[in-house]
Structures are given as C-alpha cells and as structure tokens.
C-alpha cells in the first residue's frame, strides 16, 4: 500500500538532533520517509544531518543530507539547488529549526537577540523564499512551520527571544497561506507544548532546576494536564497530517499539540 506521502519530495530543516534521542526534525524526517517521501535532511551540523539520513536509508527509504545554516541566504539557495538536482523538485517543507536563549529584555544581550531572530524567524523567510517558487512549478505544496505554545502564552520560563520568534511564525504562516491559496500552496503552524526532546536538555535545566536535568523533567511533567510531556513523535505525526493530502482543505491555521496545557489557567 502506498504511503500518505508517496511520490512527494520533503525538505525538513533542523532534521538532525542536538543530542541523543529524537528531536522533532529527526522524527519528522523518518516518519515522512516511512510514508513514501524522498526526504532532504537539512541541518547546520553535518553529522546530525547524516545520522538522520542514515536512519532513513537503513529502513529502505530515500534521503539526502544537506549541511546548511538556514539563516544564510547563500546556503539556503544552495540547499534548494541540491534538492532539485537530487529529486527534481519540492512538494513539502517542514520549517523546524529553533534555538533558545533564556532571559528577558534586560538579561538578553543584543547579539543573542539577533541570533535567535535569525535562526528562528529569518530562516523561515529565507527557506520559504527559495522553496515556494519550486512548489509553484509543481502546482502547489504544503508548508509546515513549527511554532510553539510559547508564542501564545507563558510557559514558566522567561525566554523573550524564543517566545517572540515562535509567536511571529503564526502570522507569517497565515500570510503565506492566504497569498498562495489559489495556487495550491497550503501553510500551517504546529504549536508544540512542553516536549521531552534533546533540545530542552541543551538549553533549559538551569532555568528550571539550577542545572538538574532530571528535576527539570519532573517539573515540566507536572505542568502538563496529562502528567507527562509530549515527545518528538507527537509533533511528527501532526506534521505528517498537515503535509498530506488528508489536510488538503486545511490552511492558514494552527495545530496545538500540547496535552491540554494551553487550556489551563495556571
């Protein structure tokens, strides 16, 4: 039986993982491939991109790894060129990159502010700028932008750069959806809640529990109505739906994947 993405070419940015385990982009790349897509595993870390590619190929599916700093236009353009050269075009884009710097406007240095905006927000603009013309050549496509519930509410940690950039992805995504709706391009956001992925171990233990990673996990689990954080596969399955033809009439919207936490008052 053909997969839900059979015959499609999917670009996943942030396809590697910042540490051991499954990050959102890594899980999404593998799941897209399992559903029949040819996947372009894009990451700034060549070893991380290659690890994801090797997992895809070990399962008998097709992928290439591309090293790219998606905040750099020249590198993004080269990545898109390599994708088209390898697979002939692009049907699906999963904008998944994101970094965290803890602090409010007083604590955050200007350089950190600029870097987070470049990685989390400017990258989505640059990649969409390069990918949309390729989608139009194929009669349309699906864009999935990975935002966060931090873009619509406070999550217990002060990280103004992350909240601002992830929040901005929502109108960014809607604007693309409405501009290109009649040309067959859909654009949607996923808003993950508190997730147990390698990213949180790289950036948040100090903010939650004075560097105690296991205590951080306990505290974050306790915040969730389900009593447990989600994981990368929860985000990947949401991305699969939005990228697939099952969501052909879903565009300019946000899919919250948070175990109910945004419905809480506190």
User: Is 176's pLDDT higher than 90?
Assistant: yes
User: Is 162's pLDDT higher than 80?
Assistant: yes
Global confidence as pTM: 0.96
User: Is 266's pLDDT higher than 80?
Assistant: no
CATH number at residue 177: 3.40.50.720
Q: Domain count of the chain? A: 1
State the Cα–Cα distance between residues 165 and 160, nearest whole angstrom: 8
Mean pLDDT of the chain: 96
> How far from 157 is each of 153, 167, 222, 226, 256, CA to CA, in Å?
11, 15, 14, 20, 19
User: Is 221's pLDDT higher than 70?
Assistant: yes
235-260 pLDDT tens trace: 999 999 999 999 999 999 999 999 99
State the Cα–Cα distance between residues 116 and 162, nearest whole angstrom: 7
User: Is 174's pLDDT higher than 70?
Assistant: yes
Q: Please tell me the chain's helix, strand, coil percentages from 3-state DSSP, rounded to the nearest 5.
A: 50, 15, 35
Task: Kindly state the average pLDDT of the residues 154-172.
Answer: 96
Residue 213 located in a structural domain: no
110-129 pLDDT tens trace: 999 999 999 999 999 999 99
pLDDT, residue 1, reads 63
What 8-state DSSP symbol labels residue 249?
A: T
pLDDT, residue 139, reads 98
Residue 149 located in a structural domain: yes
Residue 145 located in a structural domain: yes
> Which sequence positions are flagged as catalytic?
162
Residue 266 located in a structural domain: no
Find the distance separating the first CA and the last CA of the chain, reported in whole Å: 46
Residue 92 confidence class, pLDDT cut points 50, 70, 90: very high
Residue 49 located in a structural domain: yes
State the Cα–Cα distance between residues 162 and 145, nearest whole angstrom: 14
Residue 187 located in a structural domain: yes
State the Cα–Cα distance between residues 15 and 86, nearest whole angstrom: 17
Question: Residue 244 is encoded by which pair of tokens?
Answer: 């697939």
Extended beta strands in the chain, E state: 9-13, 38-43, 63-67, 92-95, 141-146, 185-192, 254-257
Residue 133 located in a structural domain: yes
pLDDT, residue 222, reads 95
Residue 138 confidence class, pLDDT cut points 50, 70, 90: very high
Three-state secondary structure call for residue 111:
helix
pLDDT, residue 156, reads 87
User: Is 161's pLDDT higher than 70?
Assistant: yes
Residue 82: which H helix or E strand, with range? helix 73-87
82: containing domain:
9-198+231-259
Task: Kindly state the average pLDDT of the residues 150-164.
Answer: 94
Residue 207 confidence class, pLDDT cut points 50, 70, 90: confident
Exposure on the CB side of residue 152, measured as CA atoms within 13 A: 20
Residue 94 located in a structural domain: yes
Quote the percentage of the chain above a pLDDT of 90: 92
CA 257 to chain centre: 13
């Amino acid at each position: 039986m053909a997969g839900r993405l059979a015959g499609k070419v999917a670009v996943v940015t942030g396809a590697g993982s910042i540490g051991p385990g499954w990050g959102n982009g890594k899980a999404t790349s593998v799941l897209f491939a399992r559903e029949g897509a040819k996947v372009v595993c894009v990451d700034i870390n060549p070893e991380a991109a290659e690890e994801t590619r090797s997992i895809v190929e070990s399962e008998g599916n097709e992928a290439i790894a591309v090293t790219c700093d998606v905040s750099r236009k020249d590198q993004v353009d080269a990545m898109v060129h390599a994708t088209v050269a390898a697979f002939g075009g692009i049907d699906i884009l999963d904008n998944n990159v994101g970094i965290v710097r803890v602090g409010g406007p007083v604590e955050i240095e200007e350089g950190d502010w600029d870097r987070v905006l470049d990685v989390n927000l400017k990258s989505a603009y640059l990649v969409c700028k390069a990918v949309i013309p390729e989608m139009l050549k194929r009669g349309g496509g699906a864009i999935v932008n990975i935002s966060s519930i931090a873009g619509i509410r406070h999550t217990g940690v002060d990280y103004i750069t992350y909240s601002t950039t992830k929040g901005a992805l929502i109108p960014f995504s809607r604007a693309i959806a409405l501009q290109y709706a009649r040309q067959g391009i859909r654009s949607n956001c996923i808003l993950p809640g508190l997730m147990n992925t390698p990213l949180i171990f790289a950036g948040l233990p100090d903010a939650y529990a004075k560097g105690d990673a296991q205590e951080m996990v306990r505290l974050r689990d306790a915040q969730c109505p389900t009593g447990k954080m989600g994981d990368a596969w929860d985000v990947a399955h949401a991305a699969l739906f939005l990228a697939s033809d099952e969501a052909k009439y879903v565009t300019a919207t946000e899919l919250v994947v948070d175990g109910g936490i945004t419905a809480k008052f506190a």
